[in-house]
Amino acid sequence: MSRRLPPLNALRAFEAAARHLSFTKAADELHVTQAAVSHQIKALEEWLGLPLFRRMNRALALTEAGQSYLPPVREAMDTLSQATDRLIRADSSGTLTISTMPSFASKWLVPRLMRFQKRHPEMDVRVHSTAQVVDFARHDVDLAIRFGNGLWPDLRVERLLTEEIFPVGHPSLLAGDRPLVNPDDLRHHTLLHDDYNISWTVWCRAAGIEGVDTERGLQFDDSSFTLQAAINGHGIALARGVLVADDIAAGRLVRLFEVRLPGSLAYYVVAPQHYFSRPKVKAFRDWLFDEAGAT
């Protein structure tokens, strides 16, 4: 059912002029000229087919039709203003939904989230962890942090963190019956694998070692499980530097050997271009880059 509605600008001019009983004061409030207000009122009266004001020497009064029309117009304007304020407040505060991989969420993002909460206590953050690439058109997600090559069409993509790959293990593995002194010692230890790293075969080739069975060991489908196994002393993991920085700093893991490989992929902040103008998205994006700079 179609609605029969007059132009919004004409209604705004009428409501302001009726409230002040002055075209001049209405013009000042709306930041337009008196002539513009007069034109809008005349257009509204022609659209309605009724006079709304009685124009007298140095005075302005509402007609009976104007007096009848003003209360519902004012109520509609107030309702629209309140709804707009609620929408703007919800977009600058409220819940912010972030999509990212489980490994990045558990090893980098979650340990830092309290610093964002202290900076922006008015916002609640919902972390949606998934290995799948979310569709912004279909899912209620404000911002995504993705690991890849940065090629996601029709989205704004900003590189957040780059990677380097190196072996890590529990500190106890540096001593014991078969201490890890050089890369050749890997043949005596369990290798840990996941689906996201450079393979052990590639790393061993770069380290110039042979005789290590790079296919054996424990296999996981997420890097956070692989790193937890390494923390528990179950073997040696090929780690992405971003994910193990906190564990190394805390002494839960140690970096092994000197051979590092640059990662071919990186972490990116991703969303449709117009999302970045939303206050809560901008606040979280800026905080992410502050944290990345300190990592």
Residue by residue, pLDDT tens for the chain (295 residues) are: 567 888 899 999 999 999 999 999 999 999 999 999 999 999 999 999 999 999 888 889 999 999 999 999 999 988 888 777 666 655 655 688 999 999 999 999 999 999 999 999 888 899 998 888 888 888 888 999 999 999 999 999 999 999 899 999 999 988 877 888 888 888 889 999 987 767 899 898 898 888 888 888 899 988 899 999 999 999 999 999 999 999 999 999 999 988 899 888 899 999 999 999 888 899 999 999 999 988 7
10 Å CB burial of residue 188 (0-12, 13-18, 19+) is exposed
Cα separation, 166 vs 147, in Å, equals: 18
Give the per-residue pLDDT at 81. Answer: 81
Cα separation, 238 vs 195, in Å, equals: 11
CA dihedral 113, 114, 118, 119 (to 10 degrees): -20
Give the per-residue pLDDT at 89. Answer: 59
For the chain, the distance separating the N- and C-terminal CA atoms, rounded to the nearest angstrom, is 57
Give the per-residue pLDDT at 20. Answer: 92
Per residue in 71-93, pLDDT (tens digit) is 999 999 888 887 776 666 556 55
> Pick from 233, 222, 164: which is nearest to 193 by CA?
222
Give the per-residue pLDDT at 286. Answer: 95
pTM over 0.85: no
Give the per-residue pLDDT at 86. Answer: 64
Cα separation, 132 vs 222, in Å, equals: 12
Pairing outcome for strands 191-193 and 218-219: parallel
Give the per-residue pLDDT at 272. Answer: 93
Pairing outcome for strands 236-240 and 143-148: unpaired
Give the per-residue pLDDT at 175. Answer: 80
Residue ranges of alpha helices (H) inside the chain are: 8-20, 23-30, 34-48, 64-92, 102-104, 113-119, 200-207, 223-231, 241-249, 279-294
